[in-house]
Every structure is written in C-alpha cells, then in structure tokens.
Amino acid sequence: MWTQSPTDMFRKRVKRWPKKYKRELGAMMANLQTVVMSLNQGAKVESLLFGFVHHEPGGVLALDQKGGGVGLKQTRLYVYPQKAQEVLHIITIGDKGSQNDDIRDAKNFVDGVRAGKERDEDTQ
C-alpha cells in the first residue's frame, strides 16, 4: 500500500498558495489521489499515462491542474514515487513561472533520497 510523504517544502508552499488559485490546488490534489489509487491497484509508475501526469527528469512526476475546469492557471504538483518502499514523496508545488526552479528542487530532493538522506529544506 502506497503512503504519501509530504515534504516541509510542500507544506510551506501550500500554506502560501494564493487563495485565488484554490481550484487549481483542488484539481492537483484530486489528481494526486487518482495516482495514489492507481498505484494501490497495482499500476506501474511508468504506465501512469493520465493526461495530467508529466514525467520529469530523475523520476519526478509533475501533476497538473487538468480536470479542474476551464480557465485555470498552469500549475504543477511535483512528486517522487519511491517504488521499493512504496512511498510517494510530495515534494513541492508551483506554477509556470517557478517551473525550472521547481524541477531543479525536485531533482535535488530525489538525489538526496537516492543517496539515503531525504533533503527536505526549502530552497526559496
């Protein structure tokens, strides 16, 4: 059974998430639950081909706001599925303006996990 492990970086950013993008956050969180449910039903990470899942470098997945309705801002929720332990690390959240930094931060987090130490500091 897959468990979710939100990072401190995610917790901080979601607290600061603009109220005007509440629908985007709701859509990304619903998409996260779809991914968790699929993994718990035996889906392979590589076969998560939902329209809202984007495979990023280093095994990071970016879940977007698709499915939340029309007129939503482009946003991403970055997660890392640690297959052997069945842990889905919820790394960070952002929009198109922070995308490059978010992907870099997510990849650095994954590198830390793979090195055996979860790096969970907010680099902002």
Per the structure, the complete domain to which residue 76 belongs is given by 3-114
pLDDT, tens only, 62-86: 999 999 999 999 999 999 999 999 9
Question: In the β-sheet with 3-6, what is the strand arrangement from edge to edge?
Answer: 3-6, 87-95, 75-82, 61-64, 53-55
123: pLDDT strictly greater than 60:
no
Name the pTM for this structure: 0.92
Total domain count, the chain = 1
Rounded to 5 degrees, φ, ψ at 46 are -65, -20
In a domain, 123, yes or no: no
Q: Is residue 18 part of a domain?
A: yes
Is 122 inside any structural domain?
A: no
Domain assignment of residue 121, yes or no: no
